[in-house]
Amino acid sequence: GEDVEQSLFLSVREGDSSVINCTYTDSSSTYLYWYKQEPGAGLQLLTYIFSNMDMKQDQRLTVLLNKKDKHLSLRIADTQTGDSAIYFCARGVSGGYNKLIFGAGTRLAVHP
């Protein structure tokens, strides 16, 4: 299977919470990242979590890490139309000079 897997599509109502999930296979990854890509643009780093952490919160964003299940999630509270984008999960390769392995991305659609 793929190294980093994500569901392809998520649709939520404006104001609701969004939860985007990611699973990975290599438990040696030290850091895990969430990037956002808007149409026609490059990737923008949203947040990251160190592998010895279970949770990280940054304003509307909450990252949860379950190391046992190799599962990472990104929760966006009070989702807005401006949050519509593709969200990529990525893992850092140990000793890999900042090399990142990306998932295929989850397209988040926010509707009124």
Partner 1 sequence: EAGVAQSPRYKIIEKRQSVAFWCNPISGHATLYWYQQILGQGPKLLIQFQNNGVVDDSQLPKDRFSAERLKGVDSTLKIQPAKLEDSAVYLCASSLRQGAYNSPLHFGNGTRLTVT
| Binding site residues, partner 1, CB under 8 A | 4, 30-31, 40-45, 48, 50, 88, 90, 92, 95-100, 102-105
Provide DSSP, 37-56: E-TTS-EEEEEEEETT-SEE
The burial class, CB within 10 Å (0-12 / 13-18 / 19+), for 99 is exposed
Q: How far is the CB of 105 from partner 1 (least distance, A)?
A: 6
Which residue's CB is nearer to partner 1, number 4 or number 108? 4
Which residue's CB is nearer to partner 1, number 11 or number 17? 11
Q: How far is the CB of 65 from partner 1 (least distance, A)?
A: 14
Which residue's CB is nearer to partner 1, number 15 or number 96? 96
Strand, helix or coil for residue 102: strand
CA 4 to chain centre: 11
